[in-house]
Amino acid sequence: MWAAAAAAATAAAAAAAASLHPMELLVEQASIFLFRDGTLLTMFSHEGEGLAAPILDKLKGFKTLLTDSQDASFLFNAVLDAVVDHAMPVVQVYASRIAQLETQVLLDKRPPARLTKELHLLCNDLKVLRRTLVPTQHLIHKLQATHATTDSSKHFLSPLTLVYMADVADHISTIVEDMETLAEDARDLIDLVFNTIAHHNNNSMQMLAVVSTIFLPITFLAGVFGMNFDQFFPEIHWQYGYIYFWGLCSVISVVFAAMMKRWGMFSS
């Protein structure tokens, strides 16, 4: 007897790819037992109808490779293939949602920080999906390596099964790589949101610094002319002293503004 364990994942909201929040992720474990007498036994932790239905349709059909081969190991490969195929639409759902969030982040001049929460949840879901499928990937690779290093009399898998199992190995490797890429994209979007918010905050602080710098000499002049030393400030009793004060403040403000513009403090 030979035993294996695989896992399948589904997204409860896979049909609503345009609006995935909230989204529920379901993971189901499948145990597979392959006997030398050609018996294949599969057990599911919850309900395996979603995986078994396509295989049963093939077995009920006429002149299919699955029925013509009469090979239990090929049926085992069909179960593994169904597990891998079950994960493909789930990855597409997450890819669609991350693409929508990416568009929203790039088009919005100041993306809201609440987007980081959903991106973080998506990233965690992708990690769960990857941890679910990586053991299946290792299982397939181990089967291929064991078949190449052991005596042919001990093989559980037929040559036909090994040929089609190579395709399953390629599919699951692609899916795992896509999950890693999507999780990395989600993390990059989180960093982009925080960097964009920090950039806007820095611009606001820079503008406040510019305004404070312009009004600093004006505040100094107001403090000086506000002192009660009439004998030292004849401009106070001058007929045009008020106009002189504001003219002096305006000239200083223009000079300071021109200097800061030259230094690039007005650039965002």
Stretch 183-208: mean pLDDT, rounded? 87
Residues 25 and 53 occupy one common structural domain: yes
Stretch 120-133: mean pLDDT, rounded? 88
User: Phi/psi of residue 12, each to 5°?
Assistant: -65, -25
For the segment 145-179, what is each residue's pLDDT rounded down to a tens digit? 877 666 665 667 788 888 888 898 999 999 999 99
Residues 177 and 207 occupy one common structural domain: no
Residues 223 and 108 occupy one common structural domain: no
Instruction: With cut-offs at 50, 70 and 90, classify the pLDDT of residue 15.
Output: very low
Check pLDDT > 60 for residue 6.
Answer: no
Q: State pTM to two decimals.
A: 0.69
Residues 122 and 220 occupy one common structural domain: no
Whether 13 is covered by a domain: the verdict is yes
Q: How many structural domains is the chain composed of?
A: 2
Stretch 65-87: mean pLDDT, rounded? 81
- pLDDT attached to residue 75: 84
Among 12-26, 114-128, 129-143, 166-180, the least confident range: 12-26
Stretch 16-30: mean pLDDT, rounded? 58
Residue 164, domain extent: 2-201
Q: How far is CA 64 from CA 38, 55, 86, 168, in A?
A: 18, 11, 21, 18
Q: Would you tell me how many other CB atoms lie within 10 Å of the CB of residue 88? A: 14
Whether 168 is covered by a domain: the verdict is yes
Whether 131 is covered by a domain: the verdict is yes
CATH number for the domain that contains residue 63: 1.20.58
Of 150, 182, 201, which closes a domain?
201
Percent of the chain at pLDDT exceeding 90: 13
- pLDDT attached to residue 188: 94
Q: Which residue has the tokens 């006429």?
A: 62
Check pLDDT > 70 for residue 227.
Answer: no
Residues 194 and 211 occupy one common structural domain: no
Residues 28 and 139 occupy one common structural domain: yes
Residues 82 and 115 occupy one common structural domain: yes
Long-range contacts (CB closer than 8 Å, 24 or more residues apart) made by 107-116: 109/200, 110/196, 110/197, 110/200, 111/193, 111/196, 111/197, 113/193, 113/194, 113/197, 115/189, 115/193, 116/190, 116/193, 116/194
Stretch 78-86: mean pLDDT, rounded? 85
Strand partners, 9: 27
Residues 47 and 108 occupy one common structural domain: yes
**Which pair of structure tokens corresponds to residue 31?**
């145990």
